[in-house]
Amino acid sequence: MRNTALIAFLTAAATMAGCHSSGTNSKEADHRGPPRDIGSYIANMESPDRAEWQQVEQVLAALNLQPGDRVADVGCGPGYFAIPLARAVGPTGVVWAVDIEPKMLERLRQHIAEANVDNIRTVLAPDNDPTLPPGAVDTILIVNTYHHFPDRPAYVAKLKRALTPGGRIANIDFIPRTREARGFGPSFDHQLAREAADKEMAANGLYPAVVHTFLPEQYFVEYRTRGE
């Protein structure tokens, strides 16, 4: 492999699955910050290889969304889930697609135009607040993003305020494994065990109501308020 090709390959491998590598550079070391190469970051999130382990259709089937549902995709990226979500809830439903990175939303808007859906509201948010309307969202989906939130318990409190009575937060994130073991994905120190998320949800009165176990690389947990 020529040197330039090798460097490109290593960069892509490090950002595979939309999570960038840790490194000596301070920007890279801060896992909440955007990677330097947004183009590769987006390309990796949209990689055809992702379908095998991400299983979008199965995830949507498991969520059992209904036409007219009001859904938020927080940390939506270029819309790997937002577009299928929009189709699942149909023209009477709505998807708030929230991200902190304008280029993600730019790419998402391209997909929205191609997919010809008109029920997605793109939301450019600050990193500490999804800025969702209070009491308005039936399902909040977070994929490979929860570990990015700066103060997670405080962020969850804001997510919870956006839920309708009986609403849920579905969190999908990588099961901690070394990159050597998985062959792709975020570096080990950027991954967050499900138990940590459970505790932070519990601190906000949310419990794991449903735990899906079919994804090979990620945990997938639906949290609800007890008694609802």
Ligand X SMILES: C[S@@+](CC[C@H](N)C(=O)[O-])C[C@H]1O[C@@H](n2cnc3c(N)ncnc32)[C@H](O)[C@@H]1O
Applying CB under 6 A, which residues contact ligand X?
Answer: 18-19, 32, 34, 45, 74-77, 80-81, 98-101, 104, 125, 127, 143-145, 148-149
- Yes or no: say if 139 and 168 are a contact pair by the CB < 8 Å rule: yes
Which residue's CB is nearer to ligand X, number 80 or number 220? Answer: 80
Write down the least CB distance from residue 60 to ligand X, Å: 13
Write down the least CB distance from residue 214 to ligand X, Å: 17
Q: Which residues contact 139 (CB under 8 A, 6 or more apart)?
A: 63, 65, 69, 70, 71, 72, 167, 168, 169, 170
Which residue's CB is nearer to ligand X, number 76 or number 137? Answer: 76
Which residue's CB is nearer to ligand X, number 16 or number 94? Answer: 16
Write down the least CB distance from residue 165 to ligand X, Å: 24
- In whole angstroms, what is the distance from residue 221 CA to residue 199 CA? 13
Write down the least CB distance from residue 21 to ligand X, Å: 13
Chain position carrying tokens 């399902």? 139
Which residue's CB is nearer to ligand X, number 81 or number 219? Answer: 81
Write down the least CB distance from residue 44 to ligand X, Å: 9
The H-or-E segment that residue 5 falls in is helix 3-15
Select the residue whose beta carbon is closest to ligand X and give its number.
Answer: 77
Which residue's CB is nearer to ligand X, number 6 or number 51? Answer: 51
DSSP-derived pairing of the beta strands 163-174 and 218-225? antiparallel
Write down the least CB distance from residue 226 to ligand X, Å: 26
Query: For residue 87, what are its two tokens?
Result: 């189709």
Which residue's CB is nearer to ligand X, number 140 or number 143? Answer: 143
DSSP string across 18-68: G-PPP-SSHHHH-TTSPPS-HHHHHHHHT-TTHHHHH-HHHHHHHHT--TT
- Yes or no: say if 139 and 66 are a contact pair by the CB < 8 Å rule: no
Query: CA of 96: how far to CAs of 26, 157, 164, in Å?
Result: 32, 18, 14
